[in-house]
Amino acid sequence: MPPSLVEEISLVVPLVAELTGLPSNWNGTVTLVDGAPFRGQKRFDCGILLDSRLAGEPVRWRTLIHESLHAVSAGYNRADYNRLNGWEEGVVEKMQRLLRPQVLERLAVAAAPESVFARAEQEHLYNRYITALETLREELALTEPVFYRNLLATPLAARPGYVYGLGSQFAPQGRRAFLEACSKANAVLREERQWTLQSNRTSTESG
Per domain, the residue ranges of the chain are: 5-189
**Contact (Cβ atoms closer than 8 angstroms) between residue 105 and residue 19:** no
> Mean per-residue pLDDT for 45-55?
91
Look at residue 49 and give its three-state secondary structure: strand
Q: Give, to the nearest 10 degrees, the angle between helix 60-72 and helix 114-122.
A: 70
Give the pLDDT mean for 104-108.
Answer: 90
Residue 69 CB: number of other CB atoms within 10 A?
30
Residue 112 pLDDT grade (very low, low, confident, very high; cuts 50, 70, 90): low
Report the distance separating Cα 67 and Cα 37, nearest Å. 16
Averaged over 84-92, what is the pLDDT? 97
Is the pLDDT at 202 greater than 70? The verdict is: no
Provide mean pLDDT across the span 56-76: 93
> What is the rounded CA–CA span in Å between residue 139 and residue 137?
5
- Is pLDDT larger for residue 6 or for residue 18? 18
Residue with more model confidence, 45 or 23: 23
Whole-number pLDDT of residue 198: 37
pLDDT at res. 194: 44
**Helix (H) / strand (E) containing 184:** helix 172-189
142-195 pLDDT tens trace: 999 999 999 999 999 999 999 999 998 899 888 999 999 999 999 999 975 543
Closest CA to 83 of 186, 196, 153, 201: 186
Q: Report the pLDDT averaged over residues 57-80.
A: 94
Closest CA to 117 of 99, 91, 135, 134: 99
What is the structure's pLDDT at 149?
A: 98
**Do 64 and 11 contact (CB within 8 A), yes or no?**
no
Angle subtended at Cα 72 by Cα 9 and Cα 124, rounded to the nearest 5 degrees:
70
Average pLDDT over the chain, rounded to an integer:
88
The CA distance from 78 to 83, in Å, is: 9
Provide the percentage of residues in the chain whose pLDDT is more than 90.
68
